[in-house]
């Protein structure tokens, strides 16, 4: 079966600095792939490039066989890619429910509607009228994930869900992942929390200073291998 | 290995020398040319001053003002007030007018600084309108029809034009020199830091508010001096013309097209504008349409302006303000 | 005219100012662009209506049907082609570009139509009035202007808060990058906001032209009124703009009671007073959209 996402040898620059050097990645439909690495390794850059917010200076990105390298972000979203951005990036002028609704601005057909999202994250139902500016980190992260789900994506990109959150909250959030993948959604997770990443992923890739340092099925990866790829020792 | 920090490159020193020579050459103009020509050149010097001041405000201070005509007008009227009503020699009134205008900038800044960005811009425009309306109520200054500078009629016309010319040249030289020295100073360093990133600058101790206010005061005083020269050169002052927002259009055009954020840019812009005006002003509204369109085009296509996109890129300059490591 | 009547007239004038200020407010709220050509664009709209009347004998009110869509289209194109580019070139650029636009517009109108004052003829409607009491009478036209203003403001408020695209506009003003992740083209959103802004200022411009005479040079004065209305009312609230506009209108008509020459100055002084005493405006809220 065709891989859903192919990232081929991409170089990505931020102004004068280069963040990714010839990075490649393949994600098959229905898989959950985790990309791990230290701060500044280029993980978020990779996700942003897949989502279309950044353009690679070199290389190619294909979704379901279609070359999307030059496609702007708002068009890529319509192909079924949804990014939960680093830092949540909710819209502070909108309420929780409005944030969720706007996720469905260009939604494909699918199971994810408001009621289903409230089922997945029950504590959000009571917050639906609250301004998104007044949420705790965990609540905001749930809304951000819900917002991405509302478009019924084929490929869900999760950028540093654990950032700034207490471990118990992170576990609760990741506990929702099976419900998401059960519906057939392919998931690409970027995480600093290695244990959490390995717990949910089928395959794992480790980035070190913009390059791929390790790539293997999650079950086969050893702690020593991860440590060496993560820290470059 | 020791590293020396130098304030000027050889090219920069040569350029500065060249600028001084040029000023000297210009000073001899009244001996070489008729008063028609020197009278017209005063316009050029006025342009250099107001463009330099606007650039200081916007290009270095980050303050886009569309109301500097307030200070131009006040400077002009100050000469009338001091000379016709105060008995001060008309030429001596020019530096005094600059001081008075700078003083006015203090209370006006308290009002204007409550606004930011685009709303600051319009706010300065409103203040200029208010100043105009207030001055147009003052009887001794001629109200709406304006006033004439009657106290220079004792001079021989050629002599008067020559004195005006030299004074204008002096004002232009002092204005550019003042901006140059300011930018070379510690305050100037703060300014550049603030321009690049105000929050970061504040974090390392730059006094953003005070520095911006200082820049606003200097720009006001400088523009006031230019207004005083305008009064001397045209011998009459009218509220509608001296407080016209068109002056802001000129300043913005010169600074933007010449090159914002450099000292040479506004001078280049002033030269260009002066040339255009000499060539085209007979065309009336069409000339201004071209001006506006060029200003827009430059801002979109070459935001560094004429100077900034060309010679400025090479690091060459007449007024070196940077620091070079050797 | 008595003082009571002056206040009433001021309120009615405020309605028109509010309609006029809405466009300025909207462009700032969504794109953070202060359109210095705002006043001149309203004058352009009035001249378009005038030209239609002159060339095709279209009456003033029906002319709105052509002028408003034309100006909306102009707004969309201007934002998409010119202002969008200027937004990338730093905070100075949109101000310089819109100011340049103002100069170009004023002088183009001057070239095309000459400096003569014009007016849009609305026949008897201009003077017909409703007598409320011995001293106070309300012009039907002025009432119409207020009615249009309130309707447009309410409609816009509803549009922003209840519709999908309105939601997209509010989200785009918060975060134009993230909004792309939802499949929304932020440049299109900005352009629609500009189109709406231009449409409202077209209506205001034409109504103004029916109310008083206009000529190519009065754009800047109008811009200043719109700006004062927004500041007096407070940024962040469309209804604040209405409140500010009414205060400005009343200040001007009361000033005119003292002496016709003081009308505009009175407005300026109230604006300055608000700036000194309550810089956040009368109705400052925490919202993003004015």
- What end-to-end distance do the CA atoms of chain A give, in Å? 37
Distance CA B222, CA B232 (A): 16
Distance CA C131, CA C134 (A): 7
- Written as six digits, the tokens of A27 are 């994600």
Distance CA C271, CA C233 (A): 10
Average pLDDT over residues B249-256: 90
Closest CA to B307 of B242, B273, B256, B235: B256
Residue C99 with chain B: CB contacts under 8 Å: 66, 248-249, 252, 295
Mean pLDDT of chain C: 89
How far from C73 is each of A188, B293, C106, C156, C196, CA to CA, in Å?
Answer: 42, 21, 20, 18, 9
pLDDT cut 70: percent of chain A above it:
100
In a domain, B51, yes or no: yes
Q: Residue B175 has what pLDDT?
A: 94
How far from B13 is each of B70, B188, B322, CA to CA, in Å?
Answer: 36, 19, 12
Is the pLDDT assigned to residue A233 strictly greater than 90? no
Q: Residue A159 has what pLDDT?
A: 94
Average pLDDT over residues B55-84: 92
Residue A74 with chain C: CB contacts under 8 Å: 180-186
CB-based contact, B260 to chain C, within 8 Å: yes
- The answer to whether the CB of C154 falls within 8 A of the CB of C23 is no
How far from B267 is each of B220, B306, C195, CA to CA, in Å?
Answer: 18, 11, 39
- Written as one string, the DSSP assignment of A207-228 is EETTEEEEEEEGGG--HHHHHH
- The answer to whether the CB of B219 falls within 8 A of the CB of B54 is yes
Closest B-chain CA to C99: B249
Q: Do A106 and C182 touch (CB under 8 A)?
A: yes
How far from A121 is each of A81, A129, A139, A140, A156, CA to CA, in Å?
Answer: 21, 15, 9, 11, 17
Site from C31, C80, C93, C99 to mutate, B interface, most B CB atoms within 10 angstroms: C99
Chains A and B touch (3+ CB pairs under 8 A): no
In a domain, B270, yes or no: no
In the structure, what pLDDT confidence band is assigned to residue B319 with cuts at 50, 70 and 90? confident
Q: How many CA atoms lie less than 13 Å away from C19 in the CB half-sphere? A: 27
**Vertex B298 angle, CA B293 and B300, to 5°:** 95
Q: How many CA atoms lie less than 13 Å away from C41 in the CB half-sphere? A: 32
Closest B-chain CA to C83: B300
Is the pLDDT assigned to residue C32 strictly greater than 90? no
CB-based contact, C183 to chain A, within 8 Å: yes
Query: Minimum mean pLDDT among B203-207, C176-180, C209-213: which range?
Result: B203-207
Query: Minimum mean pLDDT among B94-98, B100-104, C209-213, C232-236: which range?
Result: C232-236
Q: Which of B162-166, B186-190, C40-44 shows the highest mean pLDDT?
A: C40-44
In a domain, B277, yes or no: no
- The answer to whether the CB of C51 falls within 8 A of the CB of C43 is no
Q: Which of C182, C186, C288 sits opposite A151 (nearest CB)?
A: C182
Closest A-chain CA to C165: A105
- The answer to whether the CB of A87 falls within 8 A of the CB of A130 is no
The secondary element (H helix, E strand) that includes residue A1 is none
> Between A187 and B197, where is the model more confident?
A187
Distance CA C22, CA C204 (A): 10
How far from B309 is each of A140, B36, B172, C54, CA to CA, in Å?
Answer: 46, 35, 24, 47
Site from A105, A129, A148, A157 to mutate, C interface, most C CB atoms within 10 angstroms: A105
Q: Do C264 and B133 touch (CB under 8 A)?
A: yes
Residue C181 with chain A: CB contacts under 8 Å: 51, 53, 73-74, 77, 82-83, 85, 148
Is the pLDDT assigned to residue B230 strictly greater than 80? yes
Closest A-chain CA to C161: A94
Looking at the complex, report in whole angstroms how far the Cα of residue C230 sits from the nearest Cα belonging to chain A: 20
What is the CATH architecture assignment of C3-277?
Orthogonal Bundle (1.10)
Mean pLDDT of chain A: 90
In the structure, what pLDDT confidence band is assigned to residue A107 with cuts at 50, 70 and 90? confident
Q: Phi/psi zone of residue A18: left (φ > 0), alpha (ψ -120 to 50 degrees), beta?
A: beta
Q: Residue A52 has what pLDDT?
A: 93
Place of tokens 């300026």: C268
> Between C272 and C235, where is the model more confident?
C272
Distance CA B136, CA B70 (A): 12
- The answer to whether the CB of C189 falls within 8 A of the CB of C27 is no
Q: Is the ipTM of this complex over 0.95?
A: no
Closest A-chain CA to C188: A74
How far from B222 is each of A45, A116, B61, B112, CA to CA, in Å?
Answer: 49, 67, 15, 18
Closest C-chain CA to B62: C92
Is the pLDDT assigned to residue B208 strictly greater than 70? yes
CB-based contact, B56 to chain C, within 8 Å: no
Structural domains counted in chain A: 1
In the structure, what pLDDT confidence band is assigned to residue A33 with cuts at 50, 70 and 90? very high
**Cα dihedral sign, B147-B148-B149-B151:** negative
Q: Tens digits of per-residue pLDDT, C54-113?
A: 889 888 889 999 999 999 999 999 999 999 999 988 778 898 899 999 999 999 999 999
The secondary element (H helix, E strand) that includes residue A179 is helix A177-182
Q: Do C174 and A73 touch (CB under 8 A)?
A: no
In a domain, B87, yes or no: yes
pLDDT cut 70: percent of chain C above it:
97
Q: Do A77 and C183 touch (CB under 8 A)?
A: yes
Q: Do C171 and A73 touch (CB under 8 A)?
A: no
- The values of phi and psi at residue C130, to 5°, are -110, 125
Chains B and C touch (3+ CB pairs under 8 A): yes
CB-based contact, C174 to chain A, within 8 Å: yes
Q: Do C82 and B296 touch (CB under 8 A)?
A: yes
Q: Tens digits of per-residue pLDDT, A114-153?
A: 999 999 999 999 999 999 999 999 999 999 999 999 999 9
Average pLDDT over residues C31-58: 92
Instruction: Note the residue count of chain A.
Output: 233
In the structure, what pLDDT confidence band is assigned to residue C286 with cuts at 50, 70 and 90? very low
Q: Residue C289 has what pLDDT?
A: 46
Is the pLDDT assigned to residue B171 strictly greater than 50? yes
Chains C and A touch (3+ CB pairs under 8 A): yes
Q: Do C180 and A101 touch (CB under 8 A)?
A: no
Question: pTM of whole model > 0.80?
Answer: yes
Give partners of B (≥3 CB pairs < 8 A): C
Mean pLDDT of chain B: 86
Q: Tens digits of per-residue pLDDT, C1-10?
A: 588 888 988 9
Place of tokens 């959209």: C289
Question: Which residue segment(s) compose the domain that A62 sits in?
Answer: 3-231
- Written as six digits, the tokens of B109 are 């800044």
Closest C-chain CA to A52: C181
> Between A229 and A76, where is the model more confident?
A76
In the structure, what pLDDT confidence band is assigned to residue B314 with cuts at 50, 70 and 90? low
Is the pLDDT assigned to residue B217 strictly greater than 60? yes
CB-based contact, C257 to chain A, within 8 Å: no
Whole-number CA gyration radius for chain B: 20
Q: Tens digits of per-residue pLDDT, C216-232?
A: 989 988 999 999 999 89
- The values of phi and psi at residue C137, to 5°, are -130, 145
**Vertex C226 angle, CA C79 and C248, to 5°:** 165
> Between B5 and A166, where is the model more confident?
A166
Closest C-chain CA to B118: C34
CA dihedral B110, B112, B113, B119 (to 10 degrees): 160
Q: Phi/psi zone of residue A128: left (φ > 0), alpha (ψ -120 to 50 degrees), beta?
A: alpha
Residue B292 with chain C: CB contacts under 8 Å: 100-104, 107
Structural domains counted in chain B: 1
Closest C-chain CA to B247: C103
Q: Residue B315 has what pLDDT?
A: 62
Q: Phi/psi zone of residue A208: left (φ > 0), alpha (ψ -120 to 50 degrees), beta?
A: beta
Q: Do A74 and C180 touch (CB under 8 A)?
A: yes
Average pLDDT over residues A38-56: 91
Q: Do B291 and C108 touch (CB under 8 A)?
A: no
Q: Which residues pair with A36 in a beta bridge?
A: A191, A206
Place of tokens 């070459």: B302
Is the pLDDT assigned to residue A167 strictly greater than 70? yes
Is the pLDDT assigned to residue B317 strictly greater than 70? no
CATH number at residue A84: 3.40.50.300
In the structure, what pLDDT confidence band is assigned to residue B290 with cuts at 50, 70 and 90? confident
- Written as six digits, the tokens of A149 are 């789900």
Q: Which of B89-98, B277-286, C124-133, C274-283 shows the highest mean pLDDT?
A: B89-98
Average pLDDT over residues B132-136: 91
Distance CA C255, CA C268 (A): 10
Closest CA to A57 of A70, A76, A40: A70
Average pLDDT over residues B272-292: 83
Give partners of C (≥3 CB pairs < 8 A): A, B
CB-based contact, A82 to chain C, within 8 Å: yes
- The answer to whether the CB of A91 falls within 8 A of the CB of C289 is no
Distance CA C99, CA B288 (A): 12
The secondary element (H helix, E strand) that includes residue A101 is helix A96-103
Interface of B with C in 83-142 (CB under 8 A): 111, 114-115, 117-119, 121-123, 125-126, 129-130, 133-134
* SS3 assignment, position A89: coil
Q: Do A74 and C186 touch (CB under 8 A)?
A: yes
CB-based contact, A147 to chain C, within 8 Å: yes
Average pLDDT over residues B37-41: 88
Q: Which of C95, C96, C228 sits opposite B126 (nearest CB)?
A: C228
How far from A131 is each of A99, A119, C159, CA to CA, in Å?
Answer: 9, 20, 19
Site from B130, B300, B304 to mutate, C interface, most C CB atoms within 10 angstroms: B300
**Alpha helices, DSSP H, located in chain C:** 3-31, 38-56, 60-78, 84-88, 92-113, 140-162, 164-174, 186-211, 219-233, 238-258, 263-277
Q: Do C168 and A93 touch (CB under 8 A)?
A: no
According to the 3-state scheme, what is the secondary structure of chain B? CCCCEECCCHHHHHHHHHHHHHHHHHHCHHHHCCHHHHHHHHHHHHHHHHHHHHHHHHHHCCCCCCCCHHHHHHHHHHHHHHHHHCCCCCCCHHHHHHHHHHHHHHHHHHHHCCCCHHHHHHHHHHHHHHHHHHHCCCHHHCHHHCEECHHHCCCCHHHHHHHHHHHHHHHHHHHHHHHHHHHHCHHHHHHHHHHHCHHHHHHCCCCHHHHHHHHHHHHHHHHHHHHHHHHHHHCEECHHHHCCCHHHHHHHHHHHHHCCCCCHHHHHHHHHHHHHHHHHHHHCHHHHHHHHHHHHHHHHHCCCHHHHHCHHHHCCCCCCCCCEEC
- The answer to whether the CB of C282 falls within 8 A of the CB of C232 is yes
DSSP C267: H
Q: Residue C288 has what pLDDT?
A: 43
Average pLDDT over residues C168-185: 94
In a domain, B262, yes or no: no
Q: Which of A77, A93, A94 sits opposite C181 (nearest CB)?
A: A77
């Amino acid at each position: 079966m065709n891989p859903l996402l192919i990232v081929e040898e991409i170089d990505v620059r931020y102004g004068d600095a280069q963040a990714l050097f010839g990075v490649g990645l393949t994600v098959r439909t229905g898989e959950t792939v985790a990309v791990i690495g230290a701060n500044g390794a280029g993980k978020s850059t990779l996700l942003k490039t897949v989502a279309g917010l950044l353009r690679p200076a070199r290389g190619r990105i294909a979704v379901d066989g279609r070359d999307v390298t030059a496609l702007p972000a708002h068009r890529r979203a319509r192909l079924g890619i949804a990014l939960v951005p680093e830092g949540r990036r909710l819209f502070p002028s909108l309420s929780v429910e409005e944030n969720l609704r706007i996720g469905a601005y260009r939604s494909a057909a699918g199971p994810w509607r408001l009621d289903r999202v409230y089922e997945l994250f029950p504590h959000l139902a009571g917050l639906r009228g609250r301004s998104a500016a007044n949420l705790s980190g965990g609540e905001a992260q749930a809304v951000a994930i819900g917002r991405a789900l509302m478009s019924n994506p084929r490929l869900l990109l999760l950028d540093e869900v654990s950032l700034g959150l207490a471990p118990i909250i992170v576990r609760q959030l990741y506990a929702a992942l099976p419900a998401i993948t059960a519906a057939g959604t392919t998931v690409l997770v970027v995480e600093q929390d290695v244990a959490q990443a390995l717990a949910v992923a089928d395959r794992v890739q480790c980035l070190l200073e913009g390059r791929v340092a390790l790539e293997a099925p999650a079950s086969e990866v050893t702690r020593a291998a991860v440590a060496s790829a993560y820290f470059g020792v | 290995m020791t590293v020396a920090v130098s304030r000027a490159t050889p090219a920069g020193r040569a350029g500065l020398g060249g600028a001084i020579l040029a000023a000297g050459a210009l000073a001899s103009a009244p001996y070489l040319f008729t008063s028609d020509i020197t009278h017209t050149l005063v316009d050029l010097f006025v342009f250099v001053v107001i463009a330099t001041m606007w650039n200081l405000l916007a290009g270095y201070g980050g303050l886009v003002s569309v109301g500097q005509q307030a200070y131009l007008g006040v400077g002009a009227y100050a000469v009338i007030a001091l000379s016709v009503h105060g008995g001060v020699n008309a030429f001596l009134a020019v530096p005094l007018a600059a001081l008075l205008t700078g003083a006015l900038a203090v209370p006006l800044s308290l009002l204007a600084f409550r606004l930011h960005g685009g709303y600051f811009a319009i706010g300065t425009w409103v203040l200029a309108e208010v100043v105009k309306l207030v001055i147009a109520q003052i009887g001794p200054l001629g109200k709406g029809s304006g006033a004439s500078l009657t106290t220079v009629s004792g001079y021989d016309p050629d002599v008067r034009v020559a004195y005006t010319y030299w004074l204008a040249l002096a004002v232009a030289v002092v204005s550019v020199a003042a901006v140059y020295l300011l930018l070379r100073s510690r305050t100037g360093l703060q300014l550049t830091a603030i321009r690049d990133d105000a929050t970061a600058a504040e974090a390392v101790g730059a006094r953003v508010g005070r520095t911006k206010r200082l820049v606003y005061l200097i720009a006001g005083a400088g523009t006031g001096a230019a207004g005083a020269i305008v009064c001397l050169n045209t011998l009459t002052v009218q509220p509608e013309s001296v407080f016209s927002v068109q002056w802001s259009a000129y300043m913005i055009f010169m600074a933007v097209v010449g090159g914002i954020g450099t000292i040479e840019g506004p001078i280049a812009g002033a030269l260009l504008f002066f040339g255009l005006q000499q060539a085209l002003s007979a065309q009336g509204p069409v000339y201004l349409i071209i001006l506006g369109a060029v200003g827009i085009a430059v801002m979109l296509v070459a935001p560094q302006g004429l100077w900034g996109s060309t010679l400025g890129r090479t690091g060459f300059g007449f007024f070196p303000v940077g620091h070079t490591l050797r | 005219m008595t003082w009571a009547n002056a206040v009433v007239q001021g309120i009615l004038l405020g309605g028109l100012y509010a309609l006029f200020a809405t466009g300025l407010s909207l462009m700032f709220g969504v794109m953070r662009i202060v359109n210095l050509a705002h006043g001149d664009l309203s004058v352009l709209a009035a001249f378009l209506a005038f030209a239609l009347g002159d060339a095709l004998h279209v009456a003033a009110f029906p002319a709105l049907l052509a002028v408003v869509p034309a100006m909306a289209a102009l707004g969309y194109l201007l934002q998409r082609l010119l202002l969008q580019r200027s937004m990338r070139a730093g905070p100075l650029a949109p101000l310089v570009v819109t100011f340049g636009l103002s100069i170009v517009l004023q002088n183009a109108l001057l070239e095309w139509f000459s400096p003569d004052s014009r007016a849009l003829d609305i026949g008897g409607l201009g003077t017909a009035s409703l007598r409320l009491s011995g001293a106070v009478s309300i012009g039907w036209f002025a009432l119409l202007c207020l009615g249009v203003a309130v309707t447009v403001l309410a409609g816009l408020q509803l549009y922003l808060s209840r519709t999908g695209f309105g939601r997209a506009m509010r989200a785009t003003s918060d975060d134009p990058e993230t909004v792309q992740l939802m499949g929304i083209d932020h440049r299109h959103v900005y352009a629609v906001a500009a189109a709406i802004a231009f449409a409202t200022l077209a209506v205001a411009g034409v109504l103004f032209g029916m109310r008083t005479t206009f000529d190519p040079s009065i754009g800047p004065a109008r811009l200043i009124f719109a700006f004062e209305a927004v500041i007096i009312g407070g940024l962040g609230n469309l209804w604040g703009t209405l409140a500010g506009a009414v205060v400005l209108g009343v200040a001007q008509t009361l000033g005119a009671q003292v002496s016709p020459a003081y009308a505009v100055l009175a407005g300026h002084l109230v604006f300055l007073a608000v700036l000194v005493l309550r810089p956040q405006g009368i109705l400052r809220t925490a919202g993003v959209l004015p």
